[in-house]
Structure formats: structure tokens, C-alpha cells
Amino acid sequence: MLSINEKQIRPVITIDIDQYKENDEIDLSYVNEPFLFLRKQNQIFGYVQFNNIIQGNDKKKNIAISKITSSSQSIKSVYCLSGQISLTDLFQIIGEPISIVKEEDMPIGYILREDILAELFKQENKSVDLLKSILTSIPMGTFVVDKNKVIINCNDAGLKMIKSTSEKVINTKAETIFSGEQVENVFATGKTILNQIQINDDMGVLVDYSPIFVDNEVEGIVIVVQDLPMVEEMASEIEYVKDLNKDLNAILSSIYDEILVVNRKGELIRYSENIIPGFWNVDLKELLGKSILEFENQGLFTPSVTKLVLEKKKKVSIVQETINGRKVLAVGNPVFDENMEIERIIIASRDITETSRLKTELKEMKKISEQYKKELEDIKSKDQFVKKLIYCSPKMEQIINQAKKIADFSSTVLLHGESGVGKEVIAQAIHQLGNRSAKPFLKLNCGAIPENLLESELFGYIKGAFTGADQNKDGYFKQADEGVLFLDEIGEMPLHLQVKLLRVLQEQEVIPVGSTKPIKVNVQIIAATNKRLEKMVEDRTFREDLYYRLNVIPLNIPPLRERIEDISLLSFHFLQQLNEKYNKSFHLTPDAINVLEFYSWPGNVRELQNIIERLVVSAEDQIINAEDVNQFLPNSYDFNKSKPVINKVIPLQEAIDYVEEQLIMLAMKQYKTTTKAAQVLGISQSSVSRKYQKIMNEKNMNSDFMSFN
């Protein structure tokens, strides 16, 4: 058993990732530790070694958050210690550069792997057997170097990787097997050097050099080696991603330094734009149609991956060495025909020093792919919502265009329009088309909830605020945080609540019933009314300051009678919905549509929807004609009261206009359609339609004027 030396416990220095954006930069010059820990949502989730994010003599200033997170390692792989260190603990520790030290399940610091090994060396004879057991058990190759730079211990895994024996390795200078420059660098700087690729005739490994400190002095080095098939697996993973996502072909092709396609004869038939500089010493364009097997015989490189694939008829990964000393990892992948004969060989070659860069790029590509996918889904969602809006009139086109512009902002919107014109649909459009579409959309009808409950519904309440308040409840404002709250019938809100609503709009905070503590909220308010709020302000039934707070972006939705072009479109839409719901096949005749278009629709779209459903339920035939429609539409013109009887001399033209108007109205009442009325009156259908429309518009204008006065 080993005891943890408190002097070797280093402080855990963390940064909170939640406080930064991906493109932010941070000054870490105050950090003197080799490791930095990352925290998200008050939990440590990873760590990063400064050597991996700082190159050469760079200072710890202006380091990008994206670089820190992309270089981080998961904290889940780090072993946790407390008190004594058992043999089992040592096996766990050896696999990671650090271990977390906990006390009562709370992290109080961390300890370096080399510090624990140094402590093991201090125990002299007792530690020797333990060290041998550890070195024998771990799967990675491990070599221990003393302060004289002599290898004093190693494990079997390491000997296999370098293809040597303990007799040839023990008591041998480390520089005869590993990089003397790196060994000198570790003793000189005391810094860990990771991911060094070493390849020669006897071995091909990735090497980590970690110093062993005793009393703050480097007394030795632990050299950890891993076999190069790890690099091959990474290349295979990149190739697999390339096959899955064709859209990333161009990007993935830039990850490979070079891609060749050869046939079963070894002849080059295709190559990528990017080639390894100085590898071929010839323009690949000149090699098209020629066998690349000859280049091995010429000594340009060795061995030939094409030759090995043709011989073994399976995927082959090798490290090629060129005449100028460069080393290239080449992966040859055979493509078989239906007879299981090799038809093509795909050769992916790259400089193995680029392993770290390729891994980072792969992570970035996956991240970008997910981002594009999300953005595409958002665009599709918005397009689908717009397609659900049923309209074709210029007035509604203008309203929808205004809604699209409003959606890019979070300004308060006041929708005004008669009952049933579709104010809620426009509010939903603003929500769906804006940057709050992924957040809640809540609707509250201010006139449908009793006054004594409206306040608690809007602002919420705390436990004990009133009888029955057994627990805290969030109001609509809190539930709609970062989203949109649609307040319908805003003119029905009581005056005392108007004051509180005004405060929410001004301060962006709410106070629940029974509480004195304000809660910050970020909600876009869309209010709607069919009343004239400015008239209510004059009558002192609506607060003037609240009116101006709500009327930031006014949007007047025209009634259905002012957008006749939408009537037929909406009628067919509602009819289609009913047909699908009840598995029917009802149809509206052109005459029926004409009758619908000449009705004034005081109930607007809601009334039109109800009429269509009433027609479907009561229809005796699948063809719905003008007579069917007329029986459900109230008489919109009173012939007895519309004009006085002429009992005195009046100008002739006025009399002609009066008679013409009565004849057209009588014909439309009796025959229902402009086509039949035109036949009876002996004029064109377009004339009847134009004159009838003019009469109805004048009647509606007079009616509006009278109600206004």
C-alpha cells in the first residue's frame, strides 16, 4: 500500500464553459498548473493538458474556447483516489496522466501519474516487485529510465512492440532505442511529450515521454509506447464516415493527403487533386494507365501496398518509406466484383504526422454536419408552416410579409381585427417564422378566465399565497420564458392587472402572487383584440400607458369581406378537411362559390368554416349548389328598407340608378348567382357581378359609418 503525499496533490483549477461562446477567447496566463479542468452545469466533465493547446513559447493568452474543448479528455476515464493507494489503484492510475484525489466524495485536487511512480521508487526494495507486477500487467508498452538515461525496467508488452528482449534493453541507453532528443528535452524541461511517432526497421510505435519527479527534480522518465494499428483504425474510421456521407466527399478528400484508384493490373486509373508533395517526383497525370508496381522496383518507395493487396486479396495497411526519408501510412482497400475477384484497389495515403490534425478535423466535420442538419430542419419546419397558411389575396399577402419581418425581432405586437379573422393564426406565424420557434408558444384568453384567477394564471403563485395553494406554480409568463405569449382579447383585462402587465413589459420581470421576489423573464408579447383600444383609452377603461406599450408593432387583419379572393380557397380547404375526416367526397359548384363570395361574413373565417361544416352535415347530395348554400346564409339585403318609394320628381339618372339597383338585388335574391341573374336581366354576367359588388360595398360602408357614429 502507498500513502498519498499531500505535497504532490495539485489544485483543481476549472473554467465554466457555460459562460463562453464557441468563438470566445480566454486569458489563462494565471494558471500555473499543467492541467486545466472544464466545468459545465456545475459539474466537471473534462480536462485538458496545456501542452496540447499551446505550441512552443506561446503564452496562455487569447486561447479559443473551441480549441480548449476540442482538445479536452473526458473526466470519466480519470481514476479517483482517497487515502491509501492499493495495487488495484496503481493498475488504474497507470492508464491516465492524472488521478483525482477525493475526500468525502469531493475532489480536493489531482496528482500526476509520474509523481505516484516516483513515490513508488522511493520505497526501494518493497516497490521493486510491485513495479514489476504493474509493468507486466498493463497492456501498453512501458519502459522506465533512470537519471543516467539508462533503461532500468520494462514490461513484456513493450518488448513485443519494439521486437526486442529484456537482455538487449535493460541497462541500455534510452537514446539507442528511443529519441535521444526527446529524452534530453524531458530532463531539461520537466514537461511531458505525447504522441511521438517512431518508425524504423524493427518497430512502428506511438511514444509518450513522462518525467518522474523526486523533490521537484527530474529523476527519471516513464516511456509509454502504443502500436501503430491505432493510426490505421483512425484512417478506417475516416474512410467509413466518407462512405456514409457523400455530401462530405470534398471535405474528406482534403483530409487524405492522397487517394489513388488502380485496377487489378496495378494500373493507375484515377487520383485525387491533393497528392503528397515529393512522394512521386513525377506528375501523376503522366502515370495514368501505367502500372505503379514498377515504382517499388525502381526504389521510389517500399513496400508496395498495391502488390500486397493483390497477393492477400484483403485490406492492407502499411507504412511506406520513400527514398527521401519520408514515411507515409498507406491503406489499400480492395473492391471485389460479383465473382469475388479484385476489380479496383482504393489506396489512401497520408503523412502519419498528421494524425492529431485529422482527428480534430473529423470532430469538426461531425459538428458542422449536425449543425447543417439542424438548420435544414428549421428551414423545412418554417416552410411547412407557411404552406399551411391558406390565402391568395393581396391584403393577406401583405399581412404575412409583415409577420415574416416582425418574426426576426422580439418587439411587442398588437393584432387588431374582427372576431374570427384569424388573429391567433397570425400570432403562431410570427412565432414559427422567428428565432423563438423552438421555444414555447402559449395562449391566454383574457376574457375567458375569471378575474380573480387571471392574475395567478399570468404571474403564478407561491405555496401558501391563498387557500388551496399547496405548492408553487409557474404562471404563463414563466412557462413561456424565451418564447411567445399570445394574450387574446386584451381589452377584457381588468385595470388592476393592466398595471402589472405594464410592469412586466417595462422591467421584463414578474412577481408571483404571494411573493415579493421578482423573477426575470424573456418573453415576446403578442396581444390581440377586436375592440378599439384607443376609444377605450378615451373612456378610461384601458390604460393609456399600457396601450402605447402594446402598440409597438400594430398589425390590422382585414375581415373576410375585404379579401374575397380567399373565400373560395378557404371553402375548398375546409371542405377537404371534412372529406378526409369523414371519408366523404363533397364538392362545391361554381354557383355555390359565387353565393359564398357575395355574402358579407360578419363572423369572418370562423363563420365560413361553420357554414361549410353545416353544408356537409345537412347535404343530401355530394354536389353542393347555390340553393344549398343560400338556405344557410342570412338575408343580407332588406328590399323594403333599402330605398324609399319615389313619390316626387327626382333627376332621371338618379331614378335610373335606383331602379337598376333594385332590379339587380331582386334578381340576385331570386336566382342566387350572377350567371342566372344576367340571363334574366339580359346583360352580361361581368356587368351583374361588378354592379352587385359595388352595391354591397356601398351598403357595408354606410353600415360601418353609422356604427362609427
The predicted pLDDT at position 636 comes to: 41
**What's the average model confidence in pLDDT over 179-191?**
91
Q: Which of 558, 564, 566, 557 is nearest to 692 (CA)?
A: 564
The pLDDT of residue 529 is above 90: yes
The predicted pLDDT at position 122 comes to: 62
Lowest pLDDT segment from 62-76, 122-136, 517-531, 656-670: 122-136
The pLDDT of residue 465 is above 80: no
The pLDDT of residue 364 is above 60: yes
Asked if 80 contacts 97 with a C-beta cutoff of 8 angstroms, the reply is no
Q: Express as a percent the part of the chain with pLDDT over 90.
A: 21
Cell numbers that stand for 586 in this block:
363533397
The predicted pLDDT at position 331 comes to: 87
The predicted pLDDT at position 578 comes to: 93
Q: Say if pTM beats, i.e. exceeds, 0.75.
A: no
The predicted pLDDT at position 318 comes to: 83
The pLDDT of residue 294 is above 80: no
The pLDDT of residue 182 is above 90: yes
> What would the DSSP string read from start to end of 621-683?
SSEE-HHHHHTTSPP---HHHHSPPP-S---HHHHHHHHHHHHHHHHHHHH-SHHHHHHHHTS
The pLDDT of residue 241 is above 80: no
Phi, psi for residue 529 in degrees, rounded to 5: -160, 155
The pLDDT of residue 643 is above 50: no
Lowest pLDDT segment from 25-39, 104-118, 363-377, 616-630: 363-377
> Which carries the bigger pLDDT value, residue 383 or residue 281?
281
The predicted pLDDT at position 697 comes to: 83
Residue 435 pLDDT grade (very low, low, confident, very high; cuts 50, 70, 90) = confident
In terms of DSSP bridges, do strands 484-488 and 441-445 run parallel, antiparallel, or are they unpaired?
A: parallel
> Which carries the bigger pLDDT value, residue 611 or residue 241?
611
Q: Distance of CA 158 to CAs 163, 234, 311, 354, 631, Å?
A: 8, 22, 31, 24, 96
**What's the average model confidence in pLDDT over 430-447?**
89
Lowest pLDDT segment from 34-38, 293-297, 342-346: 293-297
Q: Which of 420, 500, 418 is nearest to 454 (CA)?
A: 500
The predicted pLDDT at position 708 comes to: 42
**What's the average model confidence in pLDDT over 155-161?**
87
The predicted pLDDT at position 706 comes to: 43
The pLDDT of residue 381 is above 60: no
The predicted pLDDT at position 248 comes to: 41
Peptide bond into 303 cis (omega under 30): yes
The predicted pLDDT at position 186 comes to: 92
> Tell me, what amino acid is at 571?
S
Distance of CA 584 to the CA centre of its chain: 42
pLDDT (tens digit, 9 = 90+) per residue, 83-103?
777 656 766 676 678 888 888
Cell numbers that stand for 410 in this block:
422580439
**What's the average model confidence in pLDDT over 332-346?**
88
Q: Mean pLDDT over all residues of the chain?
A: 81
**What's the average model confidence in pLDDT over 465-470?**
76
> Which carries the bigger pLDDT value, residue 128 or residue 112?
112
Return all residues near 307 (Cβ < 8 A) that are at least 6 apart: 266, 293, 296
Lowest pLDDT segment from 68-82, 336-350, 380-394, 444-458: 380-394
pLDDT (tens digit, 9 = 90+) per residue, 41-61?
888 889 998 877 776 545 677
Residue 549 pLDDT grade (very low, low, confident, very high; cuts 50, 70, 90) = very high
**What's the average model confidence in pLDDT over 152-181?**
89
3-state secondary structure of 355: helix
**What's the average model confidence in pLDDT over 582-587?**
92
**What's the average model confidence in pLDDT over 575-582?**
92
**What's the average model confidence in pLDDT over 646-660?**
74
C-alpha Rg value of the chain to the nearest Å? 41
The predicted pLDDT at position 8 comes to: 81
pLDDT (tens digit, 9 = 90+) per residue, 405-422?
888 888 999 999 999 998
In terms of DSSP bridges, do strands 587-588 and 623-624 run parallel, antiparallel, or are they unpaired?
A: parallel
484 CB-contact burial (10 Å; exposed 0-12 / middle 13-18 / buried 19+): buried
The C-alpha torsion from 362 through 363 and 365 to 367, rounded to 10°, is: 170
Convert 100-151 into a string of H (helix), E (strand) and C (coil): EEEECCEEEEEEEHHHHHHHHHHCCHHHHHHHHHHHHHCCCEEEEEECCCEE
